[in-house]
Amino acid sequence: MASSFDIAMTRDQLVKAIDKPVSPRLKQIALAAALAGGALFFYGVLIAKNGRAWHALHVNWLFWTIIASAAGMFSAAQRITTARWSRSVIRMLEGFVAFLPLAFIILLGMVLFGKQHLYPWWNLVGTGELAHEKEIWFAHSFFQWRSVITFGLIAALQLWYVWTAVRLDVGVTPEAGAAWAAGIRAKMRAGFGEERRELHSTHSQQGMMAVFMALIFGFGWTMLAWDHSMSLDWHFFSTMYGWQVFMGGWLVALMFWSGLVRWWKVQLDDQSLITDKQLHDIGKLCFAFTAFWGYLTFSQYLVIWYANMAEETHFFTLRLTGIWKPTTMAVVWLAFALPFFGLLSVKAKMWTPTMMFFAACSTVGIWFARYTEIYPSYHLDRLSNLPLGIWEAGITIGFAGAFAYCYLQFMDAFPKMRVLLMTSPYRDEVQVPVDPKTMEPLPAHE
């Protein structure tokens, strides 16, 4: 029986519809931006000896990496809920994970070479100025290994999960895509068996992976937020800090997705592949997580303000006074107030100009959230001018270019939609899990 999630075309027709290469010009622009930003960073570090180059790198690593990681987690959440509505559009979000290998390399550079520029407590370890518990937590080797292993596990699991999703589609489609990934596609096809069995075995495997990913993502990014953001002010602590940080990246990932789905709808030039209902559903997710991020952020502030403990309130006092107050208020307006009230209506979520305006507001707002969380901790002395200039702008552009280049390369190399789950005659059998060996339905409790 056909469902409202079916498309009115055969597999061959779908493959033909989505087999459109990404414009080489776009990839060239993205690569040029990435190289320019990288050159500016290395100039700042090696020649200008400017610590702000490291600081700008730090802000942008957190901002862009959490977005990429949140996209992988959202894809896994679709498996946990056995969602069908997103089958034609989820690959446009999964492509974000292509940035994770580069993010891992940058993290290695941060903890190995930028440590004394990025972590104000680094030189205090062993001096007696830190509490005993913090001496243990900030021990240099423990911190470095903790950061690398935690993020490495998150990235590896998310890349593996997306690999399994892409493999299903590569296995049932003709050879096509960017030449650089031909070897990867060949490995995906190796050992690919009968379609129905592959579908069920992969679905079962992804179910286990998705649950582990959710646990590791939540715990791992909480700890990474503590280590790479909250710890910069080593006197401050908040149990809600990690959630507030990584849910900001989750929100921006959804906002990016809302724009990319519209862009791909134009690029693929087939109105039946991406429906208005899907655009509305993504808009509703953007609204919902705007509210959730606002709830987390205000809850953290309210509890600290009400308790009025000096070791906590100084964090917000610094950010709500002097040169930092405008950036803090920009976060309130751009990341919450404007998108929350603006996206209340159905039309605002559906009409591209309004949806893109509020997506841009959220993106800029969360970038300023990362900036305001990190930069004041580097400048506890009262500055006369806001440290926001060529270093921050240039390195941000570089990260944006690198993120876009990785994404476009991924989308050019692999099927742009979940072909098998959109066209297989067995696609809705996964709503009732089966044993992938016997192909018999599992009892409900399993």
Write out the DSSP string of 344-401: TSHHHHHSHHHHHHHHHHHHHHHHHHHHHHHHHHH--S--SS---SHHHHHHHHHHHH
Whether 316 is covered by a domain: the verdict is yes
Closest CA to 305 of 289, 321, 317, 292: 317
* pLDDT, mean of residues 64-72: 98
Last residue of a domain, one of 347, 379, 411: 379
> Same domain, yes or no, for 27 and 155?
yes
> Same domain, yes or no, for 305 and 399?
no
> Same domain, yes or no, for 202 and 328?
no
Number of residues that make up the chain: 446
> Same domain, yes or no, for 361 and 396?
no
pLDDT band at residue 62 under the 50/70/90 scheme: very high
* pLDDT, mean of residues 309-337: 95
Whether 16 is covered by a domain: the verdict is no
Whether 10 is covered by a domain: the verdict is no
> Same domain, yes or no, for 70 and 201?
yes
Is residue 442 over pLDDT 80?
no
Last residue of a domain, one of 352, 379, 406: 379
Whether 416 is covered by a domain: the verdict is yes
Q: What is the pTM of this model?
A: 0.96
pLDDT tens digits for range 234-261: 999 999 999 999 999 999 999 999 999 9
> Same domain, yes or no, for 157 and 33?
yes
Whether 73 is covered by a domain: the verdict is yes
> Same domain, yes or no, for 345 and 307?
yes
Whether 245 is covered by a domain: the verdict is yes
pLDDT band at residue 436 under the 50/70/90 scheme: low
Domain that holds residue 281: 235-379
> Same domain, yes or no, for 107 and 253?
no
In the prediction, which pLDDT does 445 show?
46
Question: How many domains does the chain contain in total?
Answer: 2
Q: Which long-range contacts (CB under 8 A, 24 or more apart) does 270-275 make?
A: 270/17, 272/7, 272/8, 272/9, 273/7, 273/14, 273/17, 273/18, 273/88, 273/417, 274/88, 274/89
What are the structure tokens assigned to 69, written together? 């990681």
> Same domain, yes or no, for 26 and 114?
yes
Whether 241 is covered by a domain: the verdict is yes
In the prediction, which pLDDT does 5 show?
63
Tell me the one-letter amino acid at 408. L
pLDDT band at residue 430 under the 50/70/90 scheme: confident
Closest CA to 162 of 200, 192, 206, 197: 206
Is residue 348 over pLDDT 60?
yes
Q: How many CB atoms sit inside 10 A of residue 366's CB? A: 25
pLDDT band at residue 444 under the 50/70/90 scheme: low
Whether 343 is covered by a domain: the verdict is yes
> Same domain, yes or no, for 229 and 239?
no
> Same domain, yes or no, for 27 and 142?
yes
pLDDT band at residue 272 under the 50/70/90 scheme: confident
> Same domain, yes or no, for 167 and 208?
yes
pLDDT tens digits for range 176-189: 999 999 999 999 99
- The secondary structure element, H or E, covering residue 431 is none
- In whole angstroms, what separates CA 306 from the centre of its chain? 33
Mean pLDDT score across all residues of the chain? 94
State residue 252 phi and psi, 5-degree precision.
-65, -35
